[in-house]
A and B are shown apart, each in its own frame.
Chain A
Amino acid sequence: MNLKDKLATSFSVLENQIGGTDPVSNIRTNAIKQFETLGFPTKKLEAWKYTSLNSVLKPDYNVFAKKEKALEYKDVKQYFIHNIETYKIVFIDGVYSAQLSETSHEGLDVCLMSEALSKPKYKEVIETYFNKIAKEDDSLTSLNTAFTKEGAYIYIPKSKVVEKPVEIIHFATGVEDALLIQPRNLVVVEENAQVQIIERHQSLTAHPVLTNSVTEMFVAENAVLDYYKIQNDLQSASLIDNTYISQKRQSNASVHTFSFGGKLTRNNLNFFHKGEYIDSTMKGITILSDKQHVDHYTLVDHAEPNCESHQDYKSIFADKSVGVFNGKIYVNRIAQKTNAFQQNNNILLDDTATINTKPQLEIFADDVKCSHGCTIGQLDTEAMFYLKTRGIPEKEAKGLLTYAFANNVLESVRIPEVKTRINKLIAQKLGVDLGFNF
């Protein structure tokens, strides 16, 4: 049975399991129809021109894990930002792990989507926010919507400034031969509230894992959302991340995506502006090798006047790796005084690596500042020589220059421990000891 047919069958099973109490039953049914009509995206679609899912869709995935495997904290501690206090929402093979998690209902909700879907007290929030900005014409998003079952549910009430960051971590243990995980997250940050979220998908197995994740985030007036995605997965794991962020007046949302591993990663990152004086930031460092493939597909919908967006993606490719950057900025006719900046700089460390980069600006207002710049280059030979004359060997010199190239993206990281962690991952990925503390 191919994956599409298998999904149709699994959907019936899921519907029967949930029964008549499902508050999102109609949404689910529409979504599966939508997916069945659209099917998996192919390279024929402009948005998927440079990324083929063929090899990723081949394994015979189980749509839900049937077996369970527990993990000890000490064995997976390294994947957490363990030197600070955090809330933790942890899933093992798509199933919530109470043992590894630290959720809360004290003055906020850091808990589970399954809880939000099943308890009456969350009904209003679900009705107001669930599937309101996730793109219906996106087949993978629809697929996720149809299978909505588990994920993170984060609700930050008015004026609450959350001091501890929230970590969302998905582990795959290999208990199934091949596993499809479809997390569905909902994050609501009310007026004047602030929250920081760190997300990671981590496979611990050589068995294939495909994650198709959808996250909807609503950032209300004057609220602050600070979101970090750490993607450093094994070669057996692939990720399709669909993130939709809706912002209201004077809110500030930033997403940092650090992509250092995984077989194939597609980051669909969408910002929608629903008010004036909004600030949106999307930044990324991508360092790939070993045939890895990362596709950053961003959209900023400047629908209102006086908003800003800042986009800065730095990427380094080696050893048959492939990168795609497609950054779309849409400025509505009424969105005067928009400031939209986009920067995408790439270094190809050898001639087997590929980058496809495409800025896409659609501007319908006349009083705006929009800039975009994209570069593709190699490491500067003069700089290499300079470093070597100081006794720094070739490999370390390359590492240092690569680090220097990417490092300004880290300036806007507001959690020092995350910054340190990313620096370590960069050094690890480049195979160098950078010889200093960051």
Chain B
Amino acid sequence: MLKIENLHASIEDKEILKGLGIEVKPGEVHAIMGPNGAGKSTLSSVIAGREEYEVTEGSIEFEGEDINELEADERAHKGIFMSFQYPVEIPGISVTNFIKTAINSNRKAQGLEDMPANEMLKKIKEKAALLDIDMKFLSRSLNEGFSGGEKKRNEIFQMAMLEPKLAILDETDSGLDIDALKIVANGVNKLKSADNAVIVITHYQRLLDYIVPDFVHVLFDGKIVKSGTKELALELEAKGYDWIKQEVTA
């Protein structure tokens, strides 16, 4: 589904990713862990198509197609979704109106008519229930004055509505208490299928107790320096990142 090879990416001439490779197949859950400043958020931004980052070398393929030249919205139309670490507040646009616009933009890109209002409402209700979201919440302005937990839940709600093939969860656990974490993880698990894939980007192992990864990668200094199964996450949790740093620099 997603194949990244020898990826080098810079922002303002500063190289952040330095030859990163990863392959994600349908039905898989990958966790990318790493210390602060390793390039985790850069990786998610580059996959999602943030313009400020320049890919200087290597390739990103999604379902066999090089997506490097595509705009963020075109990548979304292909089925890539990113849950933001810091979702943007947009006063004046309700969650419902926002998600309607997003859904219909995606449908338009696929040559489909707008989703009928009753179908939309049904879907909104269904997905809100899945994430234990109150319908009143959906009429509030997007992320404005939301708590950390509400913002993250809203991200996963959007993911549930948009039904992406590949979801990148960037530090979704940050700012969540354990109850909110369980709800969010539970939502992600319910949305999992054999056809879609998830990349969980996180600093801590905590979220991986609830969203169990098939593979764990350690990102350090712009490269994947170690890959393994979920046991690797536990090892990182117990030993910290210093031993990885030593291994790499040794």
Given A396-B105, A435-B101, CB of A388 within 8 Å of CB of B76: yes
Q: Please, which residues of chain A bring their CB within 8 A of the CB of B222?
A: none
- Least CB distance from A283 to B in Å reads 14
- Per-residue CB contact flags for chain A residues 412-438 toward chain B (1 = under 8 Å, else 0) read 000000000000000000000011100
Our pick among B48, B50, B90, B101 for the contact of A436 (Cβ within 8 Å) is B101
Interface size range of chain B in the complex: 20 to 34
Q: How many residues on A have C-beta within 8 angstroms of the other chain's C-beta atoms?
A: 27
CB contact under 8 A between A400 and B93, given known A382-B88, A391-B76:
yes
The stretch from A109-117, A370-378, A402-410 touching chain B is A402-410
Secondary structure at chain A's binding surface: helix, strand, loop or mixed?
helix
In the assembly, what is the distance between CA of A394 and CA of B49, in Å? 13
Contact flags B40-58 to A (C-beta < 8 A → 1, else 0): 0000000011111000000
Closest Cβ of chain A to B75, distance in Å, is 8
Q: Can you report 13 A-B residue pairs in the complex whose CB atoms are below 8 A from each other?
A: A380-B88, A386-B90, A388-B49, A389-B73, A390-B162, A391-B106, A400-B101, A403-B92, A403-B93, A404-B92, A406-B92, A407-B92, A435-B97
- The CA of A432 and the CA of B167, in the complex, are separated in Å by 28
A390-B73 Cα distance, complex, nearest whole Å: 7
Given A382-B88, A401-B90, A404-B93: A388 touches B71 (CB 8 Å cut-off): yes
Residue of A nearest to B81 (CB): A389
| Among candidates A389, A404, A406, residue contacting B76 with C-beta atoms closer than 8 Å | A389
Interface positions of A (Cβ within 8 A of B) = 380-383, 385-394, 396-397, 400-401, 403-408, 434-436
CA distance A394 to B48 in the complex (A): 15
| Contact status B101-A396, CB under 8 Å | yes
Assess the B92–A389 pair: CB atoms within 8 A.
no
CA distance A170 to B241 in the complex (A): 73
A434 touches B88 (CB 8 A): no
Whether the pair B102, A392 counts as a contact (CB closer than 8 A) is: yes
**B91 x A408 contact (CB < 8 A):** yes
Which of A391, A392, A434, A435 has the most chain B CB within a 10 Å cutoff?
A391
Q: How far is the CA of A405 from the CA of B105 in the complex (A)?
A: 21
Instruction: Tell yes or no: B82 within 8 A of A by CB.
Output: yes
| B196 contacts partner chain A, Cβ-Cβ < 8 Å | no
The 9 closest A-B pairs by CB, nearest first: A391-B76, A388-B72, A404-B92, A407-B92, A390-B102, A435-B101, A391-B106, A386-B88, A436-B97
